[in-house]
Amino acid sequence: MKGAFIDNLPKVYGLYTGGFLIFVLLMAVLEQMGVGADTIGILFVAFTILIYAGIGWLSRTMQVDAYYVAGRQVPAVFNGMATAADWMSGASFVAMAGGIYFGGHGYLAFVVGWTGGYVLVASLMAPYLRKFGCYTVPDFIGTRYGGNLARFLAVVILVVASFTYVTAQINATGTIASRALQIPFEVGVWFGLLGILLCSMLGGMRAVTWTQVAQYIVLIIAYLVPVFWMSNKQGFGVIPQLVYGDAVMRIGELEAMYNMADLPKITEGVKGGLRALSVPHAAAGESAMSSWKFVTLVLCMMAGTASLPHILMRYFTTPSVRAARNSVAWSLFFIFLLYFTAPALATFTKLQVLDPNLATGIIGKAISEVEALDWIQKWANVGFLQIIDANGDGMLQLNEFFMRGDIVVLATPEIAGLPYVISGLVAAGGMAAAMSTADGLLLAIANALSHDLYYKIIDPKAETRTRLLVARILLIAIGAAGAFVASLKLTSILGAVAWAFDFACSGLFFPIVLGIWWKRANQAGAVAGMLLGFAAGSLYLYWVAPAFLGNEPWLGIDHLRFGIIGMPVSLIAMVVVTLMTAEPDAETQAMVDEIRVPVGETVIDSSH
């Protein structure tokens, strides 16, 4: 290879992909030679974590520009892959298909909202934030509106939203570690955290960027292989994303047949975090409310996507404003590959469980026979699965099988009877997804606290070494706190992620958007918008969330959608207070006009 590392990225990651595929083949050979499934699973997870840790070590840096924005040298295609990995969290990889598996159409709101959010990012934010030239979102807020109060509020909202999100990722790594190592979930979260910190602590954004590109390659291979395998095994063809409609119809027939039986009445809702296979269908009178809940969840996820600091940070790393815009397009393409596949995965997996004509079907079989299955035993041992013979007939009914939605993707290869090497591959992919997002989130929190709180507010004269040391100490402390909260199981992976998006859009969406597109917006308005929007959303969450007061939601706006309360409050407060107070000075308004010009140099140098 000739030239700099940046110039050889296609060769470097081509070799990495080839090496990873060789490792997968080696694991397949070991399985054929009789090596145990648990050993293969541990080797998969350990090998990939060591690779990521190695990339983090090789990318270590003490340069501020490299630590915070990877030196602004990341090409658009590779930044798109890193962003997709940052985005393909434990929710997308581990939990989303599980939500669709249990909840059907309603959970597609996550797919629509998260994907649609990138349209907002591309059209309203990414190029302009890159033109502004800051290191972090609070840096933009503090510089655009002026004053430490606005910067401090942005840091608070960023920390709350990102911390909520990172607990979901540590939850996902704990789920994988507990299954692979056969240890309690409460212990598994700490193993997951260790791998996350190894990747992000030494090299900051530079290390995280190159690690995330490697993690995307692993996670997308791991997600697609089982779906194509199942589609062909079940006779649906080679392009599962286009043919799973027939499988949906077959599931509908099976559910109707099973629901005609005299089923035990123990399965409505959630049982200790485990859900029954049967899903109550909405009555005709509930269709309007279902549509309203779908739309409101989509809006919260879209605005949350466009407000999440760890995603917006990714576009600070590109070489130019044009590259930032192209990077969003590449991000959408790489994200599309997984999101387009998730409904097919959920469908084929559910069919594997329900269809008595398939060797893997378990409904209607003797409970003693089902409990003897290896995958049932392994997941039951770590508390993610349970069978209850409610009517005492010894046969497994639809509503007697309970499972956590978070394990649907991870258990799919075992459910489908695929070689265990595929299970190891999926575990490695799930770990890559959760770790890549957790890396970005922990970095966003630590950077905001070290750069925007410590350096910009507390000690503006701090030396570079001190600033980066503070950032690394904060990474460890915040990660440990996230692992502790994840171990409490306050909500599911998907629930925690929804909360994070709602926190972000309640407090940050309109201050960021209006900061770019309304030069009249001022400091007082931004402070009012962030403070009142975030407070209103948070109080409503506390009022309705089952983990807290658990009161009846207002107009169907439950704890997954509290951004619908926070965002209007934020917008109204910001506009009203802005118009009641003095407009920004001419220099600030000229700066806002300048950042909307799609060419030219960055406006701000955040290193000073």
Phi then psi for residue 443, to 5 deg, are -65, -40
Task: Enumerate the H helices of 33-181 as residue ranges.
Answer: 37-58, 64-69, 76-87, 90, 96-103, 108-120, 126-132, 137-145, 148-181
Beta bridge partners, 403, equal 275, 385
Kindly tell me if the per-residue pLDDT of 254 is higher than 50.
Answer: yes
What is the SS3 assignment for 391? Answer: coil
3-class DSSP state for residue 270? Answer: strand
Contact 93/430 with Cβ under 8 angstroms? yes
What value, to the nearest 5°, has the Cα angle with vertex 323 and ends 155 and 305?
40
Residues 6+ apart with CB under 8 A from 457: 148, 151, 152
- Residues 143-163 as b/e (b if ≥16 CB within 10 A, e otherwise) read bbbbeebbbbbbbbbbbbbbb
Domains in the chain and their CATH numbers? 8-595 (1.20.1730.10)
Q: What is the pLDDT of residue 43?
A: 85
> What DSSP assignment string belongs to 460-516?
TT--HHHHHHHHHHHHHHHHHHHHHHHHTT-S-HHHHHHHHHHHHHHHTHHHHHHHH
Q: How far apart are CA 472 and CA 443, in angstroms?
A: 9
Q: Please give the pLDDT value at position 280.
A: 44
- The answer to pTM > 0.85 is no
**What are the pLDDT digits (tens) for 105-135?**
777 888 888 888 878 887 888 778 777 776 6
Give the number of other Cβ atoms within 10 Å of residue 373's Cβ: 17
pLDDT, tens only, 391-402: 778 888 777 788
For all residues of the chain together, what is the average pLDDT? 80
In the structure, how many helices (H) and strands (E) does the chain have? Answer: 28, 4
Q: What is the DSSP letter of 392?
A: S
Please check the confidence at residue 508 and state whether its pLDDT lies above 90.
yes
- pLDDT of 115 reads 82
Q: Is 241 exposed, middle or buried (0-12, 13-18, 19+ CB in 10 A)?
A: middle
- Residues near 242 by beta carbon (within 8 Å), at least 6 away in sequence: none
CA-based nearest residue to 344, from 221, 229, 475: 229
The maximal CA–CA distance of the chain, rounded, in angstroms, is 79
SS (H, E, C) 127-155: HHHHHHCCCCHHHHHHHHHCCHHHHHHHH
Helix, strand or coil, per DSSP, at residue 275? strand
Q: Report the amino acid identity of residue 421.
A: V
Token pair of 160, please? Answer: 């709350």
So what's the pLDDT on residue 29? 92
What mean pLDDT do residues 188-213 have? 71
What's the confidence (pLDDT) of residue 285? 44
pLDDT at 604: 57
Residue 107, amino acid? Y
Residue 410, CB half-sphere, CA atoms under 13 Å: how many?
Answer: 34
Spatial distance between the Cα atoms of 403 and 131, rounded to a whole number of angstroms: 48
Residue 270 has pLDDT above 80, yes or no: no
Asked if 519 contacts 589 with a C-beta cutoff of 8 angstroms, the reply is: yes
Residue 543's pLDDT is what?
93
- Rg of the chain's alpha carbons, rounded to an integer? 24
- pLDDT class for 286, splitting at 50, 70, 90? low
pLDDT in tens, 30-60: 988 888 877 887 888 788 778 877 776 776 5
The full DSSP string for 409-469 is: HHHHHHHTT--HHHHHHHHHHHHHHHHHHHHHHHHHHHHIIIIIIIIIII-TT--HHHHHH
Q: Quote the CA–CA distance of 47 and 32 in Å, as a whole number.
A: 19
